[in-house]
Chain A
Amino acid sequence: MITKKDRQKAAEFIRKYSNADDFNFSINGSEDLLTRFAQNGITQHISGNKLNVNLRVTFDSKNGEASGNNLDEDSLKYLIKTAEGMAKLNQPDPEFVGSEPAHDLPEVDNYAQSTADLPVEKIVDDILTCVKNAEGKDAKLSGISEKHVQDTFLVTKNGFEGFDRSTSFSHSMTLKKEGVETKVSRSVKDHAKFSMLTMIEQLNSQFDSLNNPVQLAKGRIPVILRPAAVLNWLFYLIWTFDRRTADEGHTPFTDQIGKKFFGDKFTFRSRLDDPDLEASKFLNGGVPAENIDWIVNGILKNMSADRYYAKQINLKALRPYNIIVEGGDTTESEMMKMVDRGVIINNFWYIRPTDRKTGEWTGLTRDGVLYFEDGKIQKSVTNFRWNEILHDATKRILALGPSVQQEYYAKVPTLLIDDFNFVDVTTF
């Protein structure tokens, strides 16, 4: 990884040799180890460090930006020459906003030594344990283990300086035997808090609950969405969660700030102080991150904005830097008794917009679907396609489980949602 001395030296070089009216200079580096396996054998194994050095300069609101992957003086000179050359040939940007000044940044701890020290031998040992479990079931295992250490460094002409070092470890695996396939995945910032045995137990539990699926008719039916499905779904909601496009009339959120646009039971926040979750110290070119409520009890409180638009409407330029959906205390067994019948969804797949203005999305189920009736699981069923207006679906939340960590940046609950709109069925 790049040392503090090297970062400061590079920043000083830019300050000294750039003639631009304004600049943002960033260095993002990572140390990565990725072990990918399929059909009970390793198929891909990668190790290396990556570096991205980026300079964005401005002359009279004319911008130019160049990036490379070296920090030596010749490379920095080339970046300055390239970025400044582009800016001089460019046209003025009517939405230009000057770079951020110095800020006090929040204290956030995104680094865990246990993750940084994780050796390749330990990762392979753990994968071997997973593969032996699969072989014991006469099944095939595919997945990936990843370890990352990442640096983020930003300085601006106007005095901002920020640095963060973070770690993450993630593991996902799909177990497949004939018509049964299911997957578990999890990531943490601190490998010491990760248990492979717990993941194997979860995988086995899902796998053992499934058998060769039978087809169920399409139509509206209650669903129990497990956390992986909820998070997958929420990603796409956040994708369109932009204040400017809402105000310009392109999304369903137009004129909905401050209104109860979501269901009462739906609350979504980003928090700096959750000990398990990674959080950014700064966002959007140096804006200090802060705790923010996006949706509270169904009321749309805030939306993402870039620095230009935030300035126009006198808001802070923030975005969801981590995801915390408030949970409840209903267990999955209790949920199954709250409705006559329904399906349990492990995950979703290939979610895409079908109508950006109404907020309708399509997607499929994946990793195993279970049909329940009379409070009990009855059988495995084949996958469905759904077309749903996601914010409307939150109005049909009947119950929530406890919010649990799904990824190093997200805690979400299991949700029981009424009348989910399945429009087609698959053959598997």
Chain B
Amino acid sequence: MDFLSLAMDTAKSLGADYADIRIQKSSTEMIYLRNLSLKNTSLNEIYGYGIRVFKDGAWGFAHNNVFTEDAVNGTVKKAFAIAKESGRIKYGKGLVLAHERGYIDSYKTPYCLDPFDVPLSEKVELMMEVNKTMLNFAEIKLAVFMLECRKDEKLFASTLGSRLDIHTVYIDSTFTATAVANGDSQSRTFSHGGQARGWEWVQSLNLSDKAVQVAEEAILKVHADSLGAEERKTLLLDPNHMALTMHESVGHPTELDRVLGWEADFAGISFATPEKLGNYQYGAQIVNFVANNTLEGGLSTAGYDDDGVPNQKWYIIKDGILNEYGNTRATAPLIGLEMSRGCNRATNYFDFPINRIPNLYLQPGKEPLTPQELIADTEDGVYIEGRGSFSIDQHRVNFQFGGDMFWEIKNGKKVRPLKKVLYKSNNPEFWNSVDAICDDRFFKTFGVTNCGKGQPGQRGRMTHGGALARFRNIRVGGSQ
């Protein structure tokens, strides 16, 4: 039975203005190792379909996991009935969907080794080796390793005539060593935050060497000094750290649904309102943020979004100025746009697609500049690696970040490790304080696989990136 056609024919016969069906199988393998104890070794597979019906400017969505003609028809009818109920309280005069056409296409994450074909024993052996390496250090009291492999196989059809076959894969390999000494406990983590690549990527990471570095730096950190009272300082932020800062302070504020107030009750709204497009100095002139859902290895790269809109590349911030948002077919027309940028994504078959951050990165500097040269050019500052504490207000203005590893820089050299460093800044101060970005030889990408958004909450994923960058005159200090 062609359930895709059945669902679309039923939706049209009911009088839907638009409808789509997403049949999705999601497989997730999780392995969690804590001090050589395998706390979780699991494979979760969920399979079902979600049907969206758009009628008179309002949405209805129903999902099911029963694949019979009756069940599919019943689910379409349920979505249609709910759309009619939604129509009783329309958004404005009713939503309008941005123009789009149908596509018949397929997409597959490029990889050599399917992580689901790699034997569990090989993965566990690697994780055990990393865990043992870290625990060989006497002051490392806790070593954890979390490996997640996920595969999504989607068939999408819409009343526009689209038929899409999308197959994506990602791997997230994260381990942490925690040192306990002198009444303190400090951790250091290795993580790329997930990449849409095959197992060959994990094999290329030299995790055993990284385990030694992580353990040594956790020990350095637990014996390190903290900073004193807050003062204005220079920060050097590595791309892994910046992945989180750009996610929170650029990615979320430029999601158009937030800008429009659709997340006002939960995730919050945005200061970056439409009248600022084209004139708001979001960052220094050297700051360019590129949205790129065609990025190879990117976690949002899937060929098409869950509106059936092709993946695209565009500037969110160009030469420091707010240029455009990430949007969807339902949000784009509300600021006068005719086409969507294709940022509507759902996590599982039973999730309603929502306006998500695209793959988003800080463009590298145009002038040749190495990290060594940037450090050498910095008289007094703090170099931050990796991700730590993060907190930002619901308008995405005021924020405070920590990090995973901190180094004091004096007279152009890393002189000592630090711990418990926090910095406070805000939009637009933060990105306007950038005065140097290393060049494209040092550009790196890092994923986010746990972006919580929506009601009910969904776990979104996207990739960020950049090269080491310098921020001047930021409030930096130790925690209490």
Q: Do the two shown chains form a genuine complex with each other? A: yes
Residues on the A chain within 8 Å of B40, using CB: 65
Separation of A371 and B480 alpha carbons in the complex (Å): 25
Which size bracket describes the interface of B in this complex?
35 or more
B78 touches A350 (CB 8 A): no
- The reply to whether A358 and B121 contact each other, CB–CB distance below 8 Å, is no
Q: Chain A interface: which of B44-52, B99-107, B359-367?
A: B44-52
> What's the Cα separation between A86 and B40 when bound, in Å?
11
Q: Contact at B128–A91, with CB atoms within 8 Å?
A: yes
* Pairwise interchain contact B398-A426, C-beta atoms closer than 8 A: yes
Cβ of A346 under 8 Å from chain B: no
Contact A65 B41 (CB under 8 A): yes
Whether B124 lies near A124 (C-beta < 8 A) is no
Q: Is B397 an interface residue (CB 8 A)?
A: yes
A38 to B263, alpha carbons, bound, how many Å? 7
Taking a contact as CB atoms under 8 Å apart, the answer to whether B479 and A86 are in contact is no
Known: A67-B44, A68-B47, A121-B85. A250 touches B178 (CB 8 A): yes
Say how far A228's CB is from chain B's closest CB, in angstroms: 13
Question: B37–A94 contact, CB under 8 A?
Answer: yes
- Identify which of residues 354-372 in chain A touch chain B, using a CB-to-CB cut-off of 8 Å: 354-358, 360, 362-364, 366
- Choose, from B55-63, B206-214, B232-240, B407-415, the stretch at the interface: B55-63
Contact A352–B390 (Cβ < 8 Å): yes
Q: A66-B44, A249-B141, A383-B393 are in contact. Are A174 and B120 (CB under 8 A)?
A: no
A39 and B120 contact, CB distance less than 8 A: no
Q: Is the CB of A94 within 8 A of B36?
A: yes
Q: Give bound CA distance, A428 to B393, whole Å.
A: 10
Cβ A350 vs Cβ B265 within 8 A:
no
The smallest C-beta distance from A246 to any residue of chain B, in angstroms, reads: 11
Whether the pair B391, A362 counts as a contact (CB closer than 8 A) is yes
Q: Does B300 reach chain A (CB closer than 8 Å)?
A: no
| Cβ–Cβ contact B262 & A39, under 8 A | yes
Is B455 on the interface with A (CB-CB < 8 A)?
A: yes
Q: Cβ of B91: which chain A residues have Cβ within 8 Å of it?
A: 38-43
Contact at A95–B37, with CB atoms within 8 Å? yes
Write the chain B residue with the least CB distance to A96: B37
Smallest distance from the beta carbon of A142 to chain B beta carbons, Å?
4
Chain B hits for A357, CB < 8 A: 183-186
Q: Is the interface of A mostly helix, strand, loop or mixed?
A: strand
Q: Answer whether residue B109 sits at the interface, using C-beta atoms and an 8 A cutoff.
A: no
Given known contacts A68-B44, A86-B43, A93 and B262 CB-to-CB distance under 8 angstroms: no
Closest beta carbon of chain B to A203's beta carbon, Å = 11
Per DSSP, chain B at the interface is mixed
**Shortest beta-carbon distance, A101 to chain B, in Å?**
22
Distance of A116 Cα from B58 Cα, bound (Å) = 26
Q: Kindly list chain B residues whose C-beta atoms are within 8 Å of the C-beta of A38.
A: 91, 260-265
- A383-420 contacts to B (CB < 8 Å): 383, 385, 387, 389
Inter-chain contacts of B125 with A (CB < 8 A): 91
Asked if B392 and A41 make an inter-chain contact with CB atoms under 8 angstroms apart, the answer reads no
Which residues on the B side are within 8 Å of A63 (C-beta)?
38, 41
Complex: how many Å from CA A35 to CA B89? 11
Residue B5 interfacial (CB < 8 Å): no
B52-85 vs A, CB cutoff 8 Å, 1 = contact: the mask equals 0000001111111100000000010011001101
Q: Are A39 and B261 also in contact (CB < 8 A) when A65-B40, A357-B185 are?
A: yes
Residues of B within 8 A of A45 (CB): 58-61, 82-83, 85-86
Taken together as a complex, chains A and B put the C-alpha atoms of A102 and B230 apart, in Å, by: 57
* A134, chain B: closest CB distance, angstroms: 11
- Among A66, A354, A356, the one with the most B-chain Cβ atoms within 10 Å of its Cβ is A354
Q: Is the CB of A389 within 8 A of B88?
A: no
Say whether, besides A69-B48, A90-B38, A385-B398, A142 and B264 are in contact (CB < 8 Å).
yes
A64 at the interface (CB under 8 A from B): yes
Is the pair B120, A426 in contact by a Cβ cutoff of 8 Å? Answer: no
| Given A47-B78, A131-B89; A428-B395 close (CB under 8 Å) | yes
Name B45's contact: one of A68, A124, A143, A248 (CB within 8 Å). Answer: A68
Tell me which residues across on chain B come within 8 A of A385, comparing CB atoms: 391, 393, 398, 400, 424
Q: How far is the CA of A308 from the CA of B89 in the complex (A)?
A: 52
Interface assignment of A36: CB less than 8 Å from any CB of chain B: yes
**Which residue of A has the minimal Cβ distance to B264?**
A142
A248 and B61 contact, CB distance less than 8 A: no
**Minimal beta-carbon separation of A185 from chain B (angstroms):** 8
Judged by a CB distance under 8 angstroms, whether B339 is at the interface is no
Check if A127 sits within 8 Å of B89, measured CB to CB.
yes
Does B426 reach chain A (CB closer than 8 Å)?
yes
What is the minimal beta-carbon distance from B94 to any residue of chain A, in angstroms? 8
Chain A 201-255 interface residues, beta-carbon cutoff 8 Å to B: 248-251
Quick check: B65 and A69 within 8 Å, CB to CB?
yes
Q: Residue B124 contacts which of A68, A70, A91 (CB distance < 8 angstroms)? A: A91
B88 touches A64 (CB 8 A): no
- Which residues of chain A come closer than 8 Å to B265, judged between CB atoms? 38, 142-144, 172-174, 183
Q: How far apart are the CA atoms of A366 and B66 in the complex, in Å?
A: 42
**A 316-371 contacts with B by CB, 8 A:** 349-358, 360, 362-364, 366
Measured CA separation A191–B424 after assembly (Å): 43
Contact of A176 among B89, B142, B261, B391 (CB under 8 A): B261
Give chain A residues whose Cβ lies under 8 Å from the Cβ of B47: 68-70
Which residues of chain A from 162 to 176 have a CB within 8 Å of any chain B CB?
A: 172-174, 176
Q: Report Cα–Cα, A43/B258, bound state, in Å.
A: 13
Give a binary string over B396-433; 1 marks a CB under 8 Å from any A CB, 0 the rest.
01101010000000000000000010101010000000
**B92 interfacial by beta-carbon distance below 8 Å:** yes
Q: How far apart sit A51 and B40, CA to CA, in the bound complex (Å)?
A: 20
Contact B61 A353 (CB under 8 A): no
Residues of A close to B330: CB separation below 8 A:
43
Is A46 an interface residue, CB under 8 A from the partner?
Answer: yes
Instruction: Tell me the bound Cα distance from A353 to B264 in angstroms.
Output: 24
Bound form: Cα–Cα A82–B120 in Å: 11
List residues of chain A with CB within 8 A of the CB of B64: 48-49
Q: Enumerate chain B residues within 8 angstroms of A95, measured Cβ to Cβ.
A: 37, 39
Please report the C-alpha to C-alpha distance between residue A176 and residue B186 in the assembled complex, in whole angstroms.
42
Q: What is the minimal beta-carbon distance from B159 to any residue of chain A, in angstroms? A: 19
B83 to A, closest residue via Cβ: A45
Other-chain contact of B455, A47, A144, A308, A389 (Cβ < 8 Å): A144
Residue A77 at the chain B interface, CB threshold 8 Å: no
Interface hub of B187, B391, B480 (most chain A Cβ within 10 A): B391
Q: A128 near B: Cβ within 8 Å?
A: yes
Question: Does any Cβ of A come within 8 Å of B42's Cβ?
Answer: yes
Which residues of A sit under 8 angstroms from B264, Cβ to Cβ? Answer: 38-39, 140, 142, 174, 176, 181
Question: A187 contacts the other chain (Cβ, under 8 Å)?
Answer: no
**Nearest opposing residue in chain B for A49, CB measure:** B64
Known: A69-B48, A248-B142. A360 touches B479 (CB 8 A): yes
A-B residue pairs in contact (CB < 8 Å), sample of 15 = A35-B86, A38-B262, A41-B89, A43-B91, A45-B86, A48-B63, A67-B42, A89-B119, A121-B85, A183-B265, A353-B389, A354-B420, A354-B422, A355-B480, A364-B391
Q: Beyond the given A35-B86, A45-B85, A387-B480, please list 9 additional residue pairs across the A-B interface where CB-CB is below 8 A.
A: A32-B456, A34-B456, A47-B61, A48-B350, A65-B40, A69-B65, A94-B36, A385-B400, A424-B400
Q: Residues of B at under 8 Å CB distance from A? A: 36-48, 50, 58-65, 75, 78-79, 82-83, 85-86, 88-92, 95, 119-121, 124-125, 128, 141-142, 178, 180, 183-187, 260-266, 268, 330, 350, 352, 354, 389-395, 397-398, 400, 402, 420, 422, 424, 426, 455-456, 479-480
Listed from nearest, the 3 A-B pairs whose CB atoms lie closest are A41-B91, A65-B42, A48-B63
